[in-house]
């Protein structure tokens, strides 16, 4: 899995940062998912490695403008391409469907592909043979959700060298052993497939906070994640501003990462007040604040690509 940051600013864009949007690239599936879609997200997609025709799902954390004002423009632009006819599934809080319908009523848009809208509830909101997506209610000024995406465990590698050393013929016998079955060869020897397959490998897990003040639901959702992407609107010196607006500080984001036992933390949703090199508080100060609690912390940058490391091996 790869993360592509499309927007890392809070509230309003700056010359260096667009408002919220994060792409999750699922390399083996040849598709990607989008988390939030602030104004200008479609422009960022065009400057990134992402292809809008491969967009499969969109997850909206909450209905503040800096997280959804780019949604309808992007959906409309995808439709204008004509050839992009695959379905998009849109997840988000109650009110999202009314928002979509209101815009389409006033400014008619005929989408050339199916758009399915699902209202997010707590718990597992999507599952297939490979992935599980969970949602948790977090604490913000409006109803808001955080999301986690977890790969299901992958089958262990087949011990082909061991099979060869045992003199087991290639072909159907190998397939049966890979499936964990017990086989009996023509010479009467019996082999248990469990002896020829390594233990399953845990899948990767990534959690997205959206906008929230620190809460236990976020810790539980992110537990054991390989990567936590958490909002860091303010530094802790401005805690009063964070509490008033329903956001987190860098220190608090790092504390969540530590409590959840994640492997890496990336700070995003940065207040424009820090996006200057000569201000009294800089982005370096924000990162250092978080690293004092959780050393494996970095700061998100627009259009940066982050490979999620496979560190959760048994």
- Domain spans, the chain: 2-154+200-307, 160-196
- Catalytic-residue membership of 211: no
| Cα Rg of the chain (Å, integer) | 23
Q: In the chain, what are the helix, strand and coil shares in percent, each to the nearest 5?
A: 30, 30, 40
> What pLDDT is stored for residue 199 in this prediction?
86
Task: Supply the DSSP symbol for 253.
Answer: H
Q: Higher model confidence: residue 179 or residue 72?
A: 72
CB 213 within 8 A of CB 242: yes
| CATH among 2.30.38.10, 3.60.15.10, 2.60.40.10, 3.90.700.10 for 2-154+200-307 | 3.60.15.10
Q: Could you give the CA distance from residue 237 to residue 273 in angstroms, rounded to a whole number?
A: 13
> What pLDDT is stored for residue 87 in this prediction?
94
Lowest mean pLDDT among 171-175, 245-249, 264-268: 171-175
Q: Residue 262 has which token pair? A: 């994640």
> What pLDDT is stored for residue 202 in this prediction?
87
Q: Is the pTM of this model over 0.75?
A: yes
Q: 311 pLDDT exceeds 80?
A: no
> What pLDDT is stored for residue 313 in this prediction?
41
Which of the following is catalytic: 66, 84, 211, 226? Answer: 66
For 221-231, write each residue's pLDDT tens digit. Answer: 999 999 999 99
Q: Could you give the CA distance from residue 268 to residue 58 in angstroms, rounded to a whole number?
A: 18
């Amino acid at each position: 899995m790869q993360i592509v940051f499309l927007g890392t600013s809070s509230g309003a864009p700056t010359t260096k940062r667009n408002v919220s949007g994060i792409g999750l690239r699922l390399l083996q599936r040849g598709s990607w998912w989008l988390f939030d879609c602030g104004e200008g997200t479609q422009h960022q997609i065009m400057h990134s490695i992402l292809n809008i025709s491969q967009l499969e799902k969109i997850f909206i954390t909450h209905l503040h403008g800096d997280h959804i004002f780019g949604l309808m423009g992007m959906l409309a632009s995808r439709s204008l391409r004509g050839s992009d006819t695959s379905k998009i599934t849109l997840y988000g809080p109650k009110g999202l469907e009314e928002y979509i319908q209101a815009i389409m009523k006033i400014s008619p848009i005929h989408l050339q592909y199916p758009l399915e809208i699902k209202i997010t509830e707590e718990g597992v909101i999507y599952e297939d043979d490979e992935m599980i997506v969970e949602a948790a209610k977090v604490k913000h000024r409006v109803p808001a959700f955080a999301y986690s995406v977890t790969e299901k465990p992958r089958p262990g590698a087949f011990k082909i060298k061991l099979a060869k050393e045992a003199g087991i013929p290639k072909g159907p016998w190998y397939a049966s052993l890979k499936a964990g079955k017990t086989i009996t060869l023509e010479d009467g020897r019996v082999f248990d497939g469990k002896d020829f397959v390594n233990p399953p490998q845990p899948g990767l897990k990534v959690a997205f906070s959206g906008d929230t003040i620190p809460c236990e639901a976020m810790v539980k959702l992110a537990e054991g994640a390989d990567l936590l992407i958490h909002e860091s609107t303010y530094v802790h010196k401005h805690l009063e501003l964070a509490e008033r607006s329903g956001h987190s500080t860098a220190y608090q984001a790092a504390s969540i990462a530590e409590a959840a036992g994640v492997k890496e933390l990336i700070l995003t949703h940065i207040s424009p007040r820090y996006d200057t090199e000569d201000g009294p508080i800089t982005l370096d100060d924000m990162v250092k604040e978080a690293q004092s609690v959780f050393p494996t912390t970095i700061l998100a940058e627009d259009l940066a690509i982050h490979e999620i490391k496979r560190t959760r091996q048994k």
